[in-house]
Amino acid sequence: AFLEAETLRLKGRRVSLRQMKYRPLVLFFRLAFIKAAVLDGIEGVIFSIFSAYYEFIRLAKQWELNLKNGANT
């Protein structure tokens, strides 16, 4: 997550608190229900949860890096 966040920071991408709140939720529902991961059973649900968690960690790390460098408001 750190390398991806650092790459996005260097490209000038910014992260808002709204993105940190909603993007993991949207990703979870997209994977679990639209891509039908729930049909894979508990493994699909766990995959959806971990993917959403990873997205949150990536965004939080990018937020932290931007704060250290003064890019976020």
Establish how many alpha carbons lie within 13 A of residue 16's alpha carbon, considering only the half-sphere containing its beta carbon: 4
- Here the tokens at position 36 are 């039908």
pTM, two decimals, is 0.81
72, pLDDT greater than 80: no
Give the tens place of pLDDT for each residue, 24-42: 999 999 999 999 888 989 9
The answer to whether 42 touches 10, Cβ cutoff 8 Å, is no
